[in-house]
């Protein structure tokens, strides 16, 4: 089965096979069931004053902007005038004592805007579409008589506050269940709500790194924080290493957010350096083709091709998670060989292909793809100086410009990335990696070549 690694990052980009986030329910043990709440019935005026003093955060950056129209907001005010009960408003307490609205933002924004006589965008809030108090249509709060103003000010609403010392996993699960808007928050948006602090700010900062945005195909910040989530994926594997990865992905990422929520400056700088090191090397290796598969040709059509639209999060994980500690000078000296080796891995190694496409969040598949990628990189960097196995890109380019005919099938090679420089006398038999022992072939034809020639 295909599961949960890759999801849509931008409107014109698709993720291959799986979603970035898995949809597995976080398992909470009986020992972990620790959630503390406080239920009260404050008056609207009390919440309004708390908001004015900065103690109630009405519109933190994890929440969407105010989206109700004037008619919907007006009918809420009418409900208060009619003393009708409203749904519970949920808040989350932070350690600094402030409370954040996690469900009820639109309702509270409507109340507070009416008290202020204007909506958040500055437009006057005049009641409209009232069906009972029709005489109040087109009136602002200031236009009402004191009796009606007091009815709104002292209208009581039920609030339930999730206290700061509640279990993080259970807190995440509760936030997810309360997440019932017309466009529900995704997991990264929920993390942005739960784990506010220096770490989430750092992840956002790194997501704005120009070279990274170029690699993932974004010009502007992603509205659903998919770019930030990709940075978190790198950070989680960087901190824990793939050897300590345990599914589901959601919990793996949550654990990293929780542990490094108040990250130290030293750890933040180390993460920045590692992230940028991977991004710069990958940009030099693949440019716009980064994190996309290269498909091998077949017997019917030996020409291979790059995937154009589909972003593969599993490829992203292994490339970012393998190259972060590679010396850039050594990588650039071996750039051609690294590119050839990695393209061949994703195009020809069936075990690797399986590990980036099927059940990708399983522990075995994660370890398999990291192990295979690390081996390719280590072998190239270890032996490149003494006797390289791969020919240089400049030689391939020279052969390609001279004659684009495959030396094995005698058909035209369409793109240089689909070309392989093959040893005439095979490398494993002692053939040297020198121009005199080189010929140009399709990758498919080269891989199909009999080892007994």
Query: According to the model, what pLDDT value does residue 7 have?
Result: 40
Q: How many angstroms separate the Cα of 136 from the Cα of each of 35, 133, 139, 237? A: 43, 6, 6, 59
Q: Would you state the structure tokens that stand for residue 295, as one six-digit string?
A: 């498909």
Quick one: pLDDT at residue 10?
A: 42
pLDDT confidence of residue 206: 97
List the structure tokens of 52. 């004015």
Pick the CATH number of 391-453 from 3.40.50, 3.40.1800, 3.30.450, 1.10.287: 3.40.1800
Cβ neighbour number for residue 297 with a 10 Å cutoff: 23
- Only one residue has tokens 């393998």, namely 322
> What is the pLDDT of the chain when averaged over all its residues?
85
269 contact partners, CB below 8 Å, separation of at least 6: none
Give me the helices (H) in 1-119, please: 44-52, 70-81, 105-116
Q: Quick one: DSSP state of residue 124? A: B
The length of the chain, given as a count of residues: 453
**Low-confidence residues of the chain, pLDDT below 50?**
1-12, 17-30, 62-63, 386-387, 451-453
d(CA 135, CA 237): 62
Residues ≥6 apart with Cβ < 8 Å to 259: 239
What pLDDT score does 386 carry?
47
Q: Of 70, 44, 72, 69, which Cα lies nearest the Cα of 58?
A: 44
Domain boundary assignment for the chain: 36-165, 391-453
Q: Are 272 and 263 in contact (CB under 8 A)?
A: no
* Phi, psi angle pair for 91, to nearest 5°: -125, 160
How distant, in Å, are the alpha carbons of 11, 101, 107, 109, 206 from that of 59? 26, 7, 12, 8, 24
pLDDT tens digits for 168-221? 777 777 777 776 655 567 889 888 878 888 999 999 999 999 999 999 987 777
User: Using one digit for the tens of pLDDT, what is the confidence trace for 411-442?
Assistant: 999 999 989 898 888 765 567 778 888 899 99
Q: What is the pLDDT of residue 279?
A: 97
Rounded to 10 deg, the angle between the 393-402 and 335-348 helix axes is 70
């Amino acid at each position: 089965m295909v599961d949960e690694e890759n999801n849509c990052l931008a409107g014109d980009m698709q993720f291959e096979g799986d979603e970035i986030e898995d949809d597995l329910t976080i398992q909470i043990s009986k020992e972990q069931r620790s959630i503390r709440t406080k239920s009260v019935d404050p008056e609207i005026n009390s919440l309004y004053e708390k908001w004015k003093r900065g103690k109630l955060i009405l519109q933190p950056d994890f929440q969407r902007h105010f989206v109700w129209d004037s008619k919907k907001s007006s009918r809420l005010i009418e409900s208060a005038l009619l003393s009708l009960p409203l749904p519970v408003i949920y808040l989350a307490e932070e350690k600094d004592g402030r409370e954040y609205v996690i469900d009820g933002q639109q309702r509270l924004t409507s109340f507070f805007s009416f008290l202020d006589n204007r909506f958040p965008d500055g437009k006057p809030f005049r009641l409209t579409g009232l069906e009972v108090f029709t005489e109040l249509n087109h009136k602002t709060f200031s236009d009402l008589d004191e009796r009606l103003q007091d009815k709104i000010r002292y209208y009581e609403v039920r609030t339930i506050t999730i206290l700061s010392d509640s279990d993080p996993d259970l807190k995440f699960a509760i936030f997810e269940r309360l997440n019932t808007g017309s466009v529900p928050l995704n997991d990264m948006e929920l993390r942005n709500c739960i784990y506010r602090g220096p770490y989430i700010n750092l992840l956002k900062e790194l997501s704005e790194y120009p070279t990274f945005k170029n690699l993932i195909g974004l010009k502007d910040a992603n509205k659903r924080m998919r770019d930030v989530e990709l940075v978190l994926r790198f950070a989680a594997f960087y901190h824990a290493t793939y050897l300590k990865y345990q599914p589901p992905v959601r919990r793996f990422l949550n654990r990293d957010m929780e542990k490094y929520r108040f990250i130290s400056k030293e750890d933040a700088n180390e993460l920045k350096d590692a992230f940028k090191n991977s991004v710069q090397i990958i940009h030099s290796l693949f440019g716009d083709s980064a994190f996309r598969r290269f498909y091998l040709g077949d017997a019917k059509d030996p020409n291979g091709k790059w995937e154009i639209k589909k972003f593969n999060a599993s490829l992203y994980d292994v490339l970012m998670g393998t190259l972060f500690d590679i010396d850039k000078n050594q990588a650039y000296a071996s750039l051609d060989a690294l590119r050839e080796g990695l393209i061949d891995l994703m195009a020809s190694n069936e075990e690797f292909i399986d590990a980036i496409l099927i059940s990708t969040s399983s522990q075995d598949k994660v370890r398999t793809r990291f192990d295979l990628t690390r081996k390719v990189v280590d072998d190239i960097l270890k032996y490149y100086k003494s006797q390289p196995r791969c020919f240089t890109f400049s030689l391939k380019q020279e052969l390609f410009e001279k004659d684009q005919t495959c030396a094995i099938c005698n058909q035209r090679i369409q793109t240089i990335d689909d070309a392989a420089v093959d040893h005439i006398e095979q490398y494993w038999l002692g053939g040297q990696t020198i121009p005199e022992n080189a010929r140009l072939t399709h990758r498919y034809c080269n891989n199909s070549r009999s080892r007994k020639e």
